[in-house]
Amino acid sequence: MSKHQEIAYLGIADLHRLYLAGELSPVDVVDACLAMIKTRDKAVNAFVTVTEEIAYETARRQEAELAKKPAALPRLFGVPIGLKDLSDSLAGVRNTYGSRAFSDLTAARTADHVQRLLDAGAIPIGKTNTSEFGHKNTTDNYVVGPTSTPFSIGHNAGGSSGGGAAAAAAGMVSIGLGSDGGGSIRVPAAACGVYGFKATFGRIPWTNRSNAFGTLAPFTHKGPIARSVADAIAMVDVMGQPLATDPFGPVGPQESLEGALQGSLKGLRVAYAPTLCDLAPNPDVGALVRAAAETFAAEGAIVEDVGSAIPYHYTDIERIWGGVYDVFAADTARGLKGLGFDVDTPQRELLSPSFLTLVDRGMKMSAMTYMGFNHERSGVFDAVNAIFQKYDLLVTPTNLVAAIPNAKAFGETFGPDRIGDQAINPTIGWSLTYLFNLTGHPIASVPVGLTPDGLPVGMQIVGPRHADFAVLSASAGFERAKPWAGTYSRLA
């Protein structure tokens, strides 16, 4: 590895140790990240906008603070992060929402959740790529085109937080900030060989005004995409504190989750669902997830194969999630009036066809049809909760496939419409993630290895509601048993 590569792949603990020892400076780290972007991002396409000036300004200010010889550092001091080019606004910086309708928009303010990260010392390297308004599980749009997983240029990074996941894997940032309404943290984490964590709904507060209640259907989350469980926990600790403007967030200070890093797999009762909701992954994916479940058993967990896990077919889950998401998309489109965009005028032609399809369906849906989906959703919630009457955790594949080829033209990369003899929704149906955006359970995607073609595969670890510590603890135990940090050397 080059010196820049060595610096770029340092974790937070090592960064802070070297900062305090005077052996490294935040400017050195920004130099390294920008060098990685210069050499790798033309192929990967993780960034929409690089905030070089802001990054250096922050790093120089932090150098001055280090000169005062502090005994300790803020939790994210000198940590380079990527901000998703969706709701992670940074004042004075371009914010496109992945849409050509807003390709020249400049954010008027810094989002509250982003400000928390900056206050904790994070260095914003830039805005990372996303699908238009985050509406599908690939990262591609008409603004800058598709993002590739760094492990296979030309295959999609997953979405909708694919830019952040690819940037973390490629050493361009330490952590990508993601959002997740159907798998948008976990899907790209799996595709890019990094760790993604979606907390219990409400633990990490945020609001996307003008609708403070817009995160309910489907449950939508903010969270980290990182190269290690430890680094992900640092972001969760910073973001997961009360925020008065969020009607669902924590009511009091939250204790650090850092203790989860000492977690063990021994004695855990684990339900292994290789075909969740009757969806069978491709054989190469299934084999790696099966081996990961066997690692749990080898480390002392009691693992039982529960097949499809819940009495719901994937077509029902697609229909229920899709119904509530159509209204979510329609509400998003109507909310754009605050930015001077009216979806009921010819301006609509600036939106992608796939997003418009969701918007149009949502606007035509009756209130009672919408509420009917929530009645059905209640049954799904009960079925997932029932698993945890017997088991501590559920493990299942993150994505059904490891490779999604990028579209040759801008804008509309989709997954497969069939896997074996199963017809699936190419927008989102090739992942096993959106079920848990109906229920709000805490869940992580951990890297479990590479296919014979060198593509990363992820496994979801799901816990009972509010059992965030348990999910992170199991993630840390698995990371110790089957560390994945060495896979990034393939990208050197």
In the chain, the percentage of residues whose pLDDT exceeds 70 is 100
The arithmetic mean of pLDDT across residues 413-427, rounded, is: 92
Confidence (pLDDT) at 411 = 73
Cβ-count burial 189-198 (b if 16+ within 10 Å, e if not): bbbbbbbbbb
For residue range 329-380, what is the model confidence (pLDDT) as tens digits? 999 999 999 999 999 999 999 999 999 999 999 999 999 999 999 999 999 9
| Model confidence band, residue 307 (pLDDT cutoffs 50, 70, 90) | very high
- Whether 410 has a pLDDT exceeding 80, the answer reads no
Q: Which residues contact 267 (CB under 8 A, 6 or more apart)?
A: 300, 301, 302
| Model confidence band, residue 393 (pLDDT cutoffs 50, 70, 90) | very high
Q: How far apart are CA 181 and CA 185, in angstroms?
A: 9
For residue range 171-181, what is the model confidence (pLDDT) as tens digits? 999 999 999 99
Confidence (pLDDT) at 420 = 85
Confidence (pLDDT) at 82 = 99
Q: Which residues contact 88 (CB under 8 A, 6 or more apart)?
A: 111, 113, 114, 127, 177, 179
Euclidean distance between the first and the last CA atom of the chain, given in angstroms as a whole number? 6
Q: How far apart are CA 411 and CA 405, in angstroms?
A: 13
Order of strands across the sheet that contains 393-397: 47-50, 123-128, 80-84, 175-180, 221-226, 195-198, 443-450, 456-462, 393-397, 269-272, 302-305
Which residues constitute the domain of residue 326? Answer: 3-491
* CB distance 53 to 144 below 8 Å: no
CA-CA distances (angstroms) from residue 267 to 187, 206, 270, 482? 29, 35, 9, 18
* CB distance 403 to 134 below 8 Å: no
For residue range 250-290, what is the model confidence (pLDDT) as tens digits? 999 999 999 999 999 999 999 999 999 999 999 999 999 99
Domain CATH for 423: 3.90.1300.10
- Whether 421 has a pLDDT exceeding 90, the answer reads no
Confidence (pLDDT) at 403 = 93
For residue range 61-119, what is the model confidence (pLDDT) as tens digits? 999 999 999 999 999 999 999 999 999 999 999 999 999 999 999 999 999 999 999 99
- Whether 208 has a pLDDT exceeding 80, the answer reads no
Confidence (pLDDT) at 409 = 76
- Whether 207 has a pLDDT exceeding 90, the answer reads no
- Quote the number of domains for the chain: 1
| Model confidence band, residue 136 (pLDDT cutoffs 50, 70, 90) | very high
CA-CA distances (angstroms) from residue 278 to 22, 272, 286, 309, 419? 55, 13, 13, 9, 12
Confidence (pLDDT) at 252 = 92
Confidence (pLDDT) at 138 = 98
Q: Are strands 221-226 and 302-305 parallel, antiparallel or unpaired?
A: unpaired
The arithmetic mean of pLDDT across residues 125-130, rounded, is: 98
Task: Please classify residue 39 by burial: count the beta carbons closer than 10 Å to its beta carbon, then call 0-12 exposed, 13-18 middle and 19+ buried.
Answer: middle
